[in-house]
Each structure stands twice: as structure tokens, then as C-alpha cells.
Structure 1
Amino acid sequence: MFPLGAVLLPGEPLSLQIFEPRYVALVEDCLDGHREPEFGVVLIARGHEVGGGDVRTDVGVIARIVDVIELAGSRFRLRCVGTERIRVDEWLTDAPYPRADVRVWPDEIGADDTDLVADLRKRADRLHTLTAQLARRSGIRRPPPSASLEDLSPDPGIRSYELAARLPIGPTDRQAALAAPDPHARLETLVTAVDDAIAMMEFRLQ
């Protein structure tokens, strides 16, 4: 297991520089040819990535290693991609690196999400308009680009993760989206997150 200060979603790329000895050992075990080159990623709810002693969430994602560069000084540069969602059943000892008993957690079947997708696009446009207004007021000539919410997958589950990955939301909201039981509930979580961001922007623009 690899606890991180960020949330990995299924389908998302992940680049890592590995230098801490325990995670060097994890990578070496992943690449020994006797198992799949993958490991679990969970969000650190409290604490830091380096040194241990962190508090971890129990819902994460399997990261598959797709490219590795071995560097000098027992270091690695990894390129990974998130695959399946997992739930931690039990955390084991951190020796020689964080480990856990996990199970794959597929999405449950939810309600139709077509209206929610359209609604989320409208809210995202509103959020971008407010963000651009605040940027101009702050003297920023080039406001951040709007989130690209087109060319989404027709699969409801994949589409919900694509939206979560593209929207300008923080790790707490991304984790809530990841932990939603089904695509419809995930979109409802995203709508709430964007609404909260809109409310904050409107307050700052008063």
C-alpha cells in the first residue's frame, strides 16, 4: 500500500518519485516478476507521506505500474494508472512497508445520471465564470481554463470518475466521490462539491 497526500481515481495517471527505503522495497517487490506490478493507493487523512505515523482512509484505488525508470541511489521514477477501486478490510503491520487486506469494490447499480451530468456541466460553467471574475479582480490577466467536461465515456461509472478528475475540487471532495457507492451518488457528491465552491466564490466576490 502507498498512502499519498492526494486522491487517485480509476483511470487517472499517477507519476511518482520513489526514494524512501520502505517504498523502494515495495517497488522492488512489485517488479520481482512473481506478482502483478501494482499496489494500492489511499489518501492520507492526517499526517505526512514521509516517515509514517499517518492516518489513512479505507477506500482507495489499485495503481498499476506501466513504466519504470531506475535511478541512481536506489531510486525509481514510476508512471502508473489507477485501475479498480478497493476497500481496506484490515491494515497490517507497516514492516517492511504499509500493507493491508483489501478487496475490490465495484460500483453498485444506481439511478440514471443523464440529468445530473447536464446539471453538473451548468454548475461547472458557473464556477468558472466566478473564478474568472475573481482572478480579474485580483489582477490576474489569464484566469484558469475551464474544466473540459466534453468527450466523456458512455459508461456511467467511468464517466463519473472522469468528471471527478476534471472538476476543480480538492482532495476531500475527490475522496468523497471515490467512496460514493454508485455513479449516481458520485455525481450527487460532485454537485454538492461544486455548489460549495460556487458559494465560496460568490462570498469572496461580495
Structure 2
Amino acid sequence: MPATPMFPLGSVLFPHTPLPLRVFEPRYLTMIGHLLDEDDPEFGVVLIERGHETGGGDQRAAVGTLARLVSVAAGADDLQIVAVGTDRFTVDAWLEDDPHPRAELTLLPPLEWNDALLPLRVEAESIVRRVLARVDDARWDAATELSEEPLAAAWQIAAIAPLGEYDQYTLLRSTTMGGLLRQVIDLTHEAEALWSAG
């Protein structure tokens, strides 16, 4: 892939999941401006594993997700954008951050859905919704609607699971759909046990 504009964030983006962002830093405003000139505007999102993105010196994750820009609304001194996660990638090399972060990427093969995974998917969705209903400050609502397409819904279940960034990053790096769903179940059970103990 040619050099891809990048947006390191303090959170994980999953395929098939919306990403609302408020963009106000000049370099990212420049990046969005360039993307708006493209037919299929996409940028890469990676988790900042350590440090702060502003001012540099951050450590960025090696696996991320492409985000397709779907809407942009201009405010007085910022842009409100919505993008949606598409394909996962690995970062081969970071390029200069001028005028904004960029990287060379290799796309990861998409995970494959098999109908034999349906019981696992149902179990994962059930526990995630149950735990979400118990968490007061969860980012997602327990009644969040999921896609009717099974593969997209599986990623969305991972996205709404009430987990920390590092657990979510573990999910993002899954190599099989069964592995993804099993990890969602195990990590959400662990999170639930911690809340119950607290």
C-alpha cells in the first residue's frame, strides 16, 4: 500500500464499527482536508500504547484498522467527523510525521465466518450485553444494535465489550473468528468478576 495517513488514538478501532472524532489539531485538519479530495478517503487508526500523541514521543501499536471517512461537519474551530472501521493492517514502517503521521501498511486477511460459530457468537453477545447493563459509565449501551451480517456483528460485539484498551487490542489481533469470540467471552467474564469483587 502507498503511504497512508494515520491517526493514533487512545482507543482501539474495530472493523465494521463507527468512529466519531472531534478533529482540532492543525495537522489532522490538514489530513482531513487532503482526504476530502479523494474518491475513497481512508486513514489508519492505531492504539497509542504508551505516552501521549500530542507532542510526539508516543509508542504506537503495530496492528490497527483502516477507517473510511463517511461524514464531516465543520464547527467554529474544529471538524466533527464520523468514520467506520474497514480492514485490519500491520504497520511496516512509520514515515515522517510531516504534515501529519503517515505509515506504510500491509493489510491483514479478513477473518472468515462459519455458521458453526453461531452458538459462540450468541454466548459472546449475551455476556457482553449482560455486563454492559451493569456498568454505569460504559461507552456503549447494552441495547446497541448490531449488524445483521454475522461477521460484522462479531467484530461489533468485540467493540462494545466493556474492556480496557489492552484487552481490546488483544481482540483486534485475533487470527480466527472462533478465537475472537472465545476471547471476547473469556475477557468479559474476567472483567465481570473484577467488578463483582469490587
Which among 141, 144, 148 is matched to residue 153 of structure 1? 148
Moved over 3 A (4+): 70-73, 108-112, 121-129, 143-146, 148-154
Q: Following the alignment from structure 2 to structure 1, what is the Cα–Cα distance between the partners of residues 87 and 193?
A: 33
- 1:101 and 2:104 are equivalent in the alignment: yes
Q: CA deviation at 1:180?
A: 0.4
Residue range with higher mean Cα deviation, 44-53 or 108-117: 108-117
Shift of residue 145, structure 1, vs aligned partner: 9.2
Please tell me whether Structure 1 or Structure 2 has the larger radius of gyration of its CA atoms. Answer: 1
Deviations 1:129-171, CA, capped at 9 Å, x for gaps: 8x37xx7xxxxxxx9997348765343x323202112322222
Q: Which runs of 5+ in 2 are unaligned?
A: 1-5
Aligned equivalents of 1:92 and 1:196: distance in 2? 38
Aligned twin of 1:77: 80
Residue aligning to 1:47 = 51
User: Higher mean Cα deviation, 106-115 or 53-62?
Assistant: 106-115
Which of residues 58, 72, 90 is equivalent to 1:68? 72
Task: Tell me how far 1:193 sits from its aligned partner.
Answer: 0.9
Higher relative contact order (CA 8 A, sep 6+): 2
Q: For residue 21 of structure 2, what is the aligned residue in structure 1? A: 16
TM-score using structure 1 length: 0.79
8 Å contact kept, 2:130–2:142: no
Question: What displacement does 1:120 show?
Answer: 2.5
**Partner of 1:119 in structure 2?**
123
Using a 3 Å threshold, how does the CA distance of structure 1 residues 17 and 119 change in structure 2: closer, same or farther? Answer: closer
Tell me how far apart the structure 2 counterparts of residues 167 and 37 of structure 1 sit (CA, whole Å). Answer: 28
The alignment partner of 1:113 has SS state of helix
* Cα root mean square deviation, aligned: 2.8
Distance across 1 between alignment mates of 2:7 and 2:156: 22
